[in-house]
């Protein structure tokens, strides 16, 4: 269902190891919002719900809520260490459009109105 590259899983393991709780796992999700319709969510959590979907990928426990799972099926997560320009990237085969910043997307079945993009840069 979800694909995480070895470089991304290594970085996730490194970040998890720096946390103080051995019960933490990676939670992935989506929520309505963003300039394309949905925004990605990715962070550590220790509260697993009974209807969450659980995966173990390269030794990383990944949890996705049931509603988000349909939008994340087949998603590919990678990590590139490029100094200031590096970080996690998400390639979502369910996205028919995405924001220039890559943090939001529009799935084929979404008929809502996206939020306007605010491309102003604060100095």
Residue 98 has pLDDT above 70, yes or no: no
The residue to which tokens 């910043």 are assigned? 101
Mean pLDDT computed over 45-58:
96
Q: How many CB atoms lie within 10 A of CB 115?
A: 15
Would you state the pLDDT for residue 123? Answer: 35
DSSP 39-56: EEEEEEE----TT-EEEE
Would you state the pLDDT for residue 120? Answer: 37
DSSP-assigned letter for residue 113:
P
> Whole-prediction pTM value?
0.75
Residue 81 has pLDDT above 50, yes or no: yes
- Is domain 3-91 given the CATH code 2.60.40.420 in the classification? no
Residue 45 has pLDDT above 80, yes or no: yes
Would you state the pLDDT for residue 85? Answer: 67
Domain boundaries, the chain: 3-91
pLDDT over 70 percentage in the chain: 73
Mean pLDDT computed over 90-117:
59
96, 106 contact by CB (below 8 A) = yes
Mean pLDDT computed over 2-24:
94
The residue to which tokens 């190891």 are assigned? 17
């Amino acid at each position: 269902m979800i694909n995480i590259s070895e470089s991304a899983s290594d970085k996730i393991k490194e970040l998890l190891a720096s946390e103080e709780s051995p019960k933490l796992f990676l939670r992935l999700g989506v929520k309505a919002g963003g300039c394309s319709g949905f925004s990605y969510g990715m962070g550590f959590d220790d509260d697993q719900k009974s209807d969450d979907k659980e995966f173990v990928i390269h030794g990383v426990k990944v949890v996705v809520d049931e509603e988000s799972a349909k939008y994340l099926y087949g998603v590919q997560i990678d990590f590139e260490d490029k100094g200031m320009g590096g970080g996690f990237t998400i390639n979502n085969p369910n996205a028919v459009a995405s924001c220039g910043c890559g943090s939001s997307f529009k799935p084929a079945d979404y008929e809502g109105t996206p939020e306007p993009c605010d491309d102003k840069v604060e100095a």
